Structures are given as C-alpha cells and as structure tokens.
A and B are shown apart, each in its own frame.
Chain A
C-alpha cells in the first residue's frame, strides 16, 4: 500500500500521497474531533517513505483552518521531515494560501519557525 487517498469532508482535508512522484498533497479545512484517527495513517505513510526512499519528498499544502488537534498532528509530520532533513534527505514544504486570508500565512509561518528544511509560503489570488 503505497497510495494514500483520503477523500475530504467538511471538517477533514483531502489527502493524496503519490508515492512514485514523492508528493504528499493536503487541502481544505481540518477540524476533526480526533485528528489522530485521520493523521495517524498520514504519519505512517511519511515515515515509511522516508525510511524506504532516498528520493525527494515534497508536501504540497492548501490547508485552511486547522483546529489545535490537527496542528499537533501536522507538527508531528513536520518533525519527521526535520529529522530526515538533518539526515540529508531532500524534503520540502510548499504551503499555498489565498492572499485575502492572512491568518493562513501566519499559521504556516509559525510552523516554519521550527523547521530548517525548505519551506515556502506562497500567496495566490483567485
């Protein structure tokens, strides 16, 4: 099982892990009551990719509102990337946000403060 496909709902993001391409994409709002039911499998996927592959892994994010439990889960994912980066693995994050909503940029910026791998915060306008 190298494909990861989790359809989004009102309160959970759409998640797609493309193993051959080395891309993990997540988009939408994330405020489930129990973020671990959702992100546990994403964390497993990232851990496995970093363990088995020496290729680049890129996170493509268009996440919007995250509740604190999702923030905690996402921090765990970034911690895995940070560890991999220190071991010399090529990892990166691109977080795209609607330029009308600065809150999303601020949220991404707070994550970036704790990361030393390439982490881009990119505005788009509709």
Chain B
C-alpha cells in the first residue's frame, strides 16, 4: 500500500478529460466546497453563465440526492459515500457523473424510471417536472429523488444514463451520467 500509482491516475484523469473528481464520504460542507471549486473552474474556463449554472445545478442535485438517500436509509457515514466526476466529452460538453451504493431494489426501480425518462421530449419532461413539484412532500417517489432527477434531465442535452452493478453485500452501485 506504499506505492499508489499517482501518475497512472493522473494520466487516466487527463485522458477522460476529468476536471474535478471526488471519492469518499460526502458531507454537506464538502458538497459546498467542491461546488465552489467547480464554479471556479467553470469561471476560469469562461463557461457561459447559463452553462455554468446548469453544470453546477446538476452537480448539486446529484450529490444532494445521494445525501438524502443515505440519511433516509440511516446508512453509517462510510456508506454515505459518493463518487463524483465532472469532465468534458469529445465535443466539449460538460459531463456530470455521480455514483453511490443503494439497495438493489431501489437501484432497479430508479434505473427503470430513468430509462422511461429517455423517451420524453422537453415539453413532456417539463410537464412531469411540474407535476412532481406539485406533489405533497410526503408523497415523493419511493426513491425520493424524482424532482431532482427530472430537473437534471431537463438541463441535459442527451438522455440521462444510469447503470447498476450488483455488489457482494446485496447492495448495488448506482451510476448516473448527465451530459449538459
């Protein structure tokens, strides 16, 4: 354990055009601090204010969803962890991705729901968003993540992608990827 290959990590990040990434237990203040760093990067890259706001918004909704889920499930701190990356794709579009451990059934439900969103156009997404907004707070989707995900889908230029990898302990690692 004395020889992390930092150079390989660096080359991997560079190849993937990752501007910023994080892996570990995520707290409220950490979300804010990484968010700050993200805003600074976007400002340094002279992103349009509206594009910068979209990237920031997607980052906040994804990470707060992860925090809310871990809180609701009473996960201990090391399980309230997130893997987050913000990068650019070949066309220069910003890509925000986040992953976390979830209960397998919750993960499956969410992946199905996100697959359904891919079939909706902008107007349908807006209608679904407004409907979710009007729902009473205690009547949120089982995932609790509905409104945030609809917001992310609306800010994305391509359908949201979700994948699930089962883990040995009966949980699964859920990854979400949004292209802004």
Q: Does A89 contact B (CB under 8 A)?
A: no
Q: A116 on the interface (CB 8 Å rule)?
A: no
A33 touches B28 (CB 8 A): yes
Query: Please, what's the 1-or-0 string for A56-100, where 1 marks a CB less than 8 Å from any CB in chain B?
Result: 000000001101110110010000000000000000000000101
Question: Which residues of the other chain, A, contact B133 by a CB distance below 8 angstroms?
Answer: 68, 71-72, 75
The size class of the interface chain B forms with chain A is 20 to 34
Chain B residues with Cβ below 8 Å from A65 are 53, 56-57, 60
Q: How far is the CB of A77 from chain B (nearest CB, A)?
A: 13
Size of interface on A: residues with Cβ below 8 Å to B: 19
A33 to B67, Cβ gap below 8 A? yes
Verify if A47 is at the interface (C-beta below 8 Å from B).
Answer: no
- Chain B residue contacts of A98, Cβ below 8 A: 49
- Provide the main secondary structure of the chain B interface: helix
A102 interface residue (CB < 8 Å to B) = yes
Question: How far apart sit A68 and B68, CA to CA, in the bound complex (Å)?
Answer: 13
Q: Are B147 and A103 in contact (CB under 8 A)?
A: no
- In Å, the complex CA distance between A67 and B67 comes to 14
Chain A residues with CB under 8 A of B137: 72
B64 touches which of A67, A72, A75 (Cβ 8 Å): A67
The CA of A11 and the CA of B28, in the complex, are separated in Å by 10
Q: Is A10 an interface residue (CB 8 A)?
A: yes
Given contact pairs A72-B147, A103-B49, A67 touches B68 in the complex (Cβ within 8 A):
no
Within 8 A of A (CB), among B128-159: 130, 133-134, 137, 147-148, 151
A-B pairs with lowest CB-CB distance, top 7: A101-B49, A103-B50, A68-B147, A103-B53, A68-B151, A68-B148, A31-B60
Chain B contacts to A: CB under 8 angstroms: 28, 31-32, 36, 49-50, 53-54, 56-57, 60-61, 64, 67-68, 130, 133-134, 137, 147-148, 151
8 A-B contacts (beta carbon < 8 Å):
A31-B64, A65-B53, A65-B56, A67-B148, A69-B147, A72-B147, A102-B50, A110-B130
